[in-house]
């Protein structure tokens, strides 16, 4: 790749242009979905700017409250939540919002109501804010059922009913990864233009990877299949090289690396958290949707309440297949 030439390209595929191109494939479209996405993108730009100057603007540290997950809220958590709620409501295209930071679902007032339900974690990995590690926003979009009144049941749908999902990672660069149900595309924020540019078209995860990502500090509490799989990663029985362990502790960063390089990300249930720890609606389902759209797979085996937790195994198709086989074998035994 000629990076010098790329720096002066004039034919840039921005995220706005990309979404409008996709919209043109559906002549009956009124542009509501495009407007909603543009408000999500604006929220991500705002949060990216706040993350970049967090230390200078005294936005790091605790806000003095806990959220619905009983986690102490950081100042940036609170700010990010406000930004996304206001951006989504003002789009005029949403009817129900579910955020990690709010105990109850937000029902949008009738005058600003649309047909989309948005579930989101405004700032995932926020415990890493103070030490400058990559953090991110995760979101999923559903369409209201039957076009009727907005009800809580409209967001309690299976992940496969999702219309779109994505995340924005705030790290060494700001990257927005999106799937609208036909593949996965990655956009990188060009600070000089203030625009997300398509840099990773049609992302495909390798069928098998060389990396596994899990918090090994919880190993003593794992169930049999998880312990066996991690043991196989470290000491393969077929003579193949051992997998490398990489674990950031921020789901967006760990999943992003898994998506690009292959391998598997595990956050299993254990004795300490028998139902798993990650939230189904706005962490597990959107990331699983992206992984499957990129040719990988994931499995959880969970139903939904708005703040329900779940174990998750996602990544390269063959790697996740191995884990499923181990669980199937234990069930038979």
Which domain CATH number covers 324? 3.40.190.80
70 pLDDT band, cuts 50/70/90, is very low
**135 and 33 in a common domain:** yes
User: Are residue 140 and residue 274 in the same domain, yes or no?
Assistant: no
d(CA 143, CA 124): 24
Q: What residues make up the domain containing 256? A: 211-331
Q: Is the pLDDT of residue 163 over 90?
A: yes
Query: In this structure, are 153 and 133 located in the same domain?
Result: yes
Q: Which among 151, 168, 200 is the end of a domain? A: 200
For residue 193, the model assigns a pLDDT of 92
Q: Is residue 7 part of a domain?
A: no
Residues 218 and 167 in one domain: no
How confident is the model at residue 228, as a pLDDT?
96
Q: What is the pLDDT of residues 113-126, one digit of tens each?
A: 999 999 999 999 88
**What stretches of the chain adopt beta strand conformation (E)?**
62-66, 72-74, 94-99, 106-107, 113-124, 135-143, 164-170, 174-179, 185-190, 195-200, 211-213, 244-245, 264-267, 278-279, 297-299, 309-310, 312-315
**Which of 10-24, 60-74, 88-102, 235-249 is predicted with the least confidence, judged by mean pLDDT?**
60-74
Same domain for 243 and 148? Answer: no
- What pLDDT was estimated at residue 9? 64
Q: Is residue 3 part of a domain?
A: no
The verdict on residue 90 lying in a domain is yes
Are 56 and 196 in a shared domain? yes
Residue 2 has pLDDT above 80, yes or no: no
Share of the chain above pLDDT 90, in %: 65
255 and 188 in one domain? Answer: no
Q: Indicate if 53 and 115 belong to the same structural domain.
A: yes
Question: For residue 87, what is the domain's CATH number?
Answer: 3.30.540.10
What band does 283 get if pLDDT is binned at 50, 70 and 90? very high
For residue range 31-47, list pLDDT tens digits in order: 999 999 999 999 999 99
- What average pLDDT does the segment 94-118 reach? 93
Is 6 contained in some domain? Answer: no
Picking from 200, 223, 247, the residue at the C-terminal end of a domain is 200
Q: Please, what is the average pLDDT of the chain?
A: 88
Residue-wise DSSP of 91-117: TT-EEEEEETT-SSPEEPPGGGEEEEE
Query: Are 173 and 290 found together in one domain?
Result: no
Same domain (yes/no): 236, 193: no
Overall domain count for the chain:
2
Is 233 part of a structural domain of the chain?
yes
d(CA 305, CA 281): 8
Choosing from 169, 200, 231, the residue where a domain stops is 200
The β-bridge partners of 116 are 94, 143
């Amino acid at each position: 790749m000629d990076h010098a030439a790329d720096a002066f390209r004039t034919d840039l595929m921005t995220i706005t242009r990309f979404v409008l191109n996709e919209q043109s494939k559906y002549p009956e479209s009124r542009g509501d979905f495009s407007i909603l996405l543009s408000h999500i993108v604006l929220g991500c730009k705002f949060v990216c700017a706040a993350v970049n100057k967090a230390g200078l603007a005294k936005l790091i540290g605790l806000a003095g409250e806990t959220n619905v997950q009983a986690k102490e809220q950081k100042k940036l958590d609170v700010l990010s939540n406000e930004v996304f709620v206001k951006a989504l409501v003002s789009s005029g295209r949403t009817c129900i919002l579910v955020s990690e930071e709010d105990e109850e679902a937000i029902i949008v007032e009738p005058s600003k109501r649309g047909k989309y339900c948005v579930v989101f974690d405004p700032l995932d990995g926020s415990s890493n804010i103070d030490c400058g590690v990559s953090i991110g926003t995760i979101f999923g979009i559903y369409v209201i059922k039957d076009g009727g009144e907005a009800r809580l049941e409209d967001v309690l749908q299976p992940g496969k009913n999702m219309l779109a999902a994505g995340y924005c990672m705030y790290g060494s660069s700001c990257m927005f990864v999106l799937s609208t149900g036909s593949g996965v595309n990655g956009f990188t924020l060009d600070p000089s233009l203030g625009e997300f540019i398509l840099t990773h078209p049609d992302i495909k995860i390798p069928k098998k990877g060389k990396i596994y990502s899990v918090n090994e500090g919880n190993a003593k509490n794992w169930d049999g299949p998880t312990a066996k799989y991690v043991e196989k990663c470290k000491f393969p029985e077929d003579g193949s090289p051992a997998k490398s362990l990489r674990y950031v502790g921020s789901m967006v960063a760990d999943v992003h690396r898994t998506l690009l390089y292959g391998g598997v990300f595990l956050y299993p249930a254990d004795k300490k958290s028998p139902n798993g720890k990650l939230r189904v609606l706005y962490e597990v389902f959107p990331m699983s949707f992206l992984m499957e759209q990129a040719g990988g797979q994931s499995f959880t085996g969970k139903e939904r309440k708005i703040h329900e937790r779940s174990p998750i195994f996602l990544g390269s198709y063959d790697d996740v297949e191995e884990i499923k086989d181990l669980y199937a074998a234990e069930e038979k035994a």
